[in-house]
Amino acid sequence: MTTLLTVLDQPAELCCTPITRDAMSAENAALLAAKFKAIGDPTRLRLLSLVAAHDGNEACVCDLNEPLDLSQPTVSHHLKILVDAGLLTRTKRGTWSFYALVPGALDNLADILRTPAS
Amino acid sequence: MTTLLTVLDQPAELCCTPITRDAMSAENAALLAAKFKAIGDPTRLRLLSLVAAHDGNEACVCDLNEPLDLSQPTVSHHLKILVDAGLLTRTKRGTWSFYALVPGALDNLADILRTPAS
DNA sequence: TGGTTACATCGACAGGTATCGATATAGAGA
DNA sequence: TCTCTATATCGATACCTGTCGATGTAACCA
C-alpha cells in the first residue's frame, strides 16, 4: 500500500486540500490532469525542452518558432496553453516575447508521480 | 542552462536514444507525450491513484468502477489507455481482471520532469 | 447445457483540439 | 506619420477523444 499520487503543489491557486494517502479526489484530479494534459503533446514537450535548454530557462519566441516546423500561430497557441497551465511565464521586452519556466512547476508535477517506496 | 527533460526510460520499447542535454528530438517528444497524455485525464489519474492505494499496487476492476460514477465501458476504455501507455498491466484471474502499476513507469516520467539544479 | 457474472469491444455521437491562413496589435525605426 | 517586424488573436476545418448503450466473450456455477 504505497501512498502515491499525493497532491502537494499549487500554492498559488487556492485549492487542493493535500491528500497524503488514499485515493485522489475528483477536484484534485481535474486540476492535475489539466497540467499533465498541457505536457501531453509533442510540440509542447519540445517547447518546454527548448526553453529549459536556454540560459536562465528563458527563450524568445523567435528561437522557438524555427525548430518546430509549424506555423507561427500554432506555436503561439501551444505557448499560451503552457502559460495557462502555469508552466511558463510570458514577458514582453520591446517587440519580443520571452517565455520562461515557472520555477518548481515541473518539479511539483514530478513529485506527484513519484512512488514513495517503489 | 539546465539539462531538463532528458529521456531515460522506455527500456522495453526499443527506441529513444537518451538525450542528456540540449533540446528534445521529435521522436522522443512523441513517445513521451503519449505517456503524459495518458495521465492528462482526471478519470485516468484517479484510476492510477486507486490502483496505487491498493495492496501490492494492484486492484480489481470491480473496485475501480464504483468510485468513478462512470459507465463500465468508459472505465474499461480508460484502463486500456493506461495499459497501452505502459503504466498499468492487466492480469485475468478467473472472471476478474486485475490492474497493477508497472513498477518504475511513473518514476521514469517523474525523472524526466525534474529539473537538475532548480 | 443453460444461466449468470465480469469485463471487453463496438458503433455512434457530442465536444474538444491542433492546425492553418488571414488579420489585428504593438513596438521600433525612419 | 508611415513602415516594418514580431507576436497574438480570429475563424474555419479536419481530426481526435470521452462518453454511452448495446453487444460480444469468457469464466464460473447449477
**CA B53, CA A7: separation in Å to the nearest integer?**
14
H or E element that contains A60:
strand A58-60
pLDDT at site B17:
30
* Residue B85 confidence (pLDDT) above 50: yes
User: By the CB < 8 Å criterion, does B8 face chain A?
Assistant: no
In a domain, A3, yes or no: no
Which chain B residues contact residue A44 at CB under 8 A? 33
Q: Per-residue confidence at A77, pLDDT binned at 50, 70, 90?
A: very high
Asked if B72 CB < 7 A from strand C, the reply is yes
In a domain, B77, yes or no: yes
User: By the CB < 8 Å criterion, does B84 face chain A?
Assistant: no
A53/B103 CB distance under 8 A: no
Grid-cell match 492480469, residue found: B91
In a domain, A11, yes or no: no
User: By the CB < 8 Å criterion, does A57 face chain B?
Assistant: yes
Grid-cell match 517565455, residue found: A99
Alpha-carbon separation of residue A108 from A92, B12, B113, B115 (angstroms): 26, 27, 9, 10
A4/B53 CB distance under 8 A: yes
* Residue B81 confidence (pLDDT) above 80: yes
Burial A15-40 (b: 16+ CB within 10 A, else e): ebeebeeebbbeebbbbbbbbbbbbb
Please tell me which residue, B14 or B79, carries the higher pLDDT value: B79
> A26-67: per-residue pLDDT in tens?
888 999 999 999 999 999 999 999 999 888 889 999 999 988
**CA B21, CA B10: separation in Å to the nearest integer?**
18
> B18-62: per-residue pLDDT in tens?
323 467 888 889 999 999 999 999 999 999 999 998 888 899 999
Residue nearest to nucleotide D27 (CA to C1'): B95
Average of per-residue pLDDT values in chain B? 82
Please give the average per-residue pLDDT across B73-102, as a whole number. 96
User: By the CB < 8 Å criterion, does B113 face chain A?
Assistant: yes
* Residue B14 confidence (pLDDT) above 50: no
Share of chain A above pLDDT 90, in %: 62
Please tell me which residue, B54 or B89, carries the higher pLDDT value: B89
pLDDT at site A25:
85
Task: List the domain range (segments joined by +) for residue A99.
Answer: 26-113
Nearest CB to B55 within list A1, A32, A41: A1
In a domain, A14, yes or no: no
Q: Per-residue confidence at B64, pLDDT binned at 50, 70, 90?
A: very high
In a domain, B110, yes or no: no
In a domain, B2, yes or no: no
pLDDT at site B24:
81
Dihedral (Cα; A92, A97, A103, A108), 10-degree rounding? 120
If one counts the domains in chain A, the total is: 1
pLDDT at site A56:
85
Instruction: Look up residue A7 and give its DSSP letter.
Output: -
Q: Give me the CATH number covering residue B72.
A: 1.10.10.10
Nearest to A50 by CA among A73, A38, A67: A67
What's the Å distance between residue B81 CA and nucleotide D17 C1'?
Answer: 11
Q: ipTM score of the complex?
A: 0.85
